[in-house]
Structure 1
Amino acid sequence: MHLDQLSAIITGGGSGLGAATARKFAKAGARVAVLDRNEDAANQIAADIGGIAVTVDIADPASVAAAFNTVTNKLGIPRILVNCAGIGTASRILPRSGDLPIDDFIKTLNINLTGSFITLSHAAKLMAEAAPLNDDGERGVIINTSSVGYEDGQIGQCAYAASKGGIAAMTLPAARELARIGVRVMTIAPGLFATAMTDTLPDEAREAIAANIPFPKRLGHASEYAELACHIVENTMLNGTVIRLDGAVRLQAR
């Protein structure tokens, strides 16, 4: 499936992996909708790439429904969804303070996992109404974002690892179910990537993180995530699996 002139939704498109993907897709000719909770960030990226910006709370079904309706009215039925929206959290099951982090766990799952399911569901419903794009009967592609933490979760990452593990686990059953309407479902599990958070670290701290990566010995670039997302869209045989994008890193316990 070629990106040119297709409508694509990127959640979390205002920064990081999502912003890089929005730029890559727009350069390839897609009509891109940048969805983000941060209105200013979404507007900035959309202005840069000639797309549209839509403010959304992916954990709120009504907000997602309204956002997808806006995209459909302005750009047509979305044929591509890339879910990059999410939060990174760290809290121990039994912190020294004695305060149990149950609210943090619920919030993390609501945004990362439930939010991905909500957007996936709305995208699938719209794609099912569209005509096939090629001889294979393909109607669309959905790409979710997990993390290597779903397999290599570190101490303090129970909520985060559980949310990302859920995303990875629903990849195959979602792909099997949506095969009947010609929609593929894939998941990317990034490793250690350069983000706004790592940009604020001292050079020695970033070097220490990169030292754990076998090859290449550096943090991943957001553009490399975007390149993989682009390839997934274009390669119809990629379906129902999780791809680790991690330079062979395996996270230690802490």
Structure 2
Amino acid sequence: MYNVLSLNKTALNAHQKKMDGIAHDLSNVNTYGYKRKEVNFEELRLREVAGDVLKSNRAQDLSLNMGVKSGVTKTTFNQGGIIPSSEKFNMAITGEGFFGVRDGNGNLILTRNGGFHQNSDGSITDDAGNSLEMEIYQPFGRWTGEISISKTGEVSTLENGQDVYLGRVILYKPDNPHNLISLGEGNYALKNGANLEISFGGEGFGEINQYFLEGSNVDMVKSMVDMITTQRVYSMNSKALQTTDEIMTMINGIKR
């Protein structure tokens, strides 16, 4: 009977964490560059055999199911929708790769959110003030006029009818997307020891699309269905826990 209580308790905890994950996804459905999270379940097992039980040589150890737990929460990095924008330094990546920004302490942060803008001094930053990682060919004072950003990240402008190359947007790609540590708001740091590939317009990276932003990859309809299903399972386990408690109370009453 106590095993039943344990099963119900672990199921409640696991499905509560899944509910939290779904709620977090839904709250970020309109966050540019956000990637949905997937909570996986793992079975809890207890291997034990009473000391006075005799087994044949072919018999395996007794394995008791002790319930379920939420396993590693994985980020799903599939492509989000591409949304038009009127800002010249708004960019969306189609394919692999991340933009890089530097925070105030010089730490590299990776993101798919290409919502950048030009400051009064000509520098390019995100809304948090983190500077976009770029190759700089010309002083920011020349970053004026009709700015163009190519698919491979070259930034240029027209001066006296001639193209002037100002710089290049750098893309980054980890050896494995799951070597990224989520910092929240669609930002990631690289795990210690993980490798990071840098693109200067080379192959194996996605294309940069100027005047676009990448939307969240959260499927709102699917997430709502998952939430309803998870709520029902949670409710069933809660009811089972209540029923088990009532039965145990009755048994204890009979013993008295």
Q: TM-score range by the shorter chain?
A: under 0.3
Higher helix share: 1
- Bigger radius of gyration among the two: 2
Q: Which has the higher strand share?
A: 2
Q: TM-score, normalised by structure 1?
A: 0.22
TM-score computed with the length of structure 2 as normaliser: 0.22
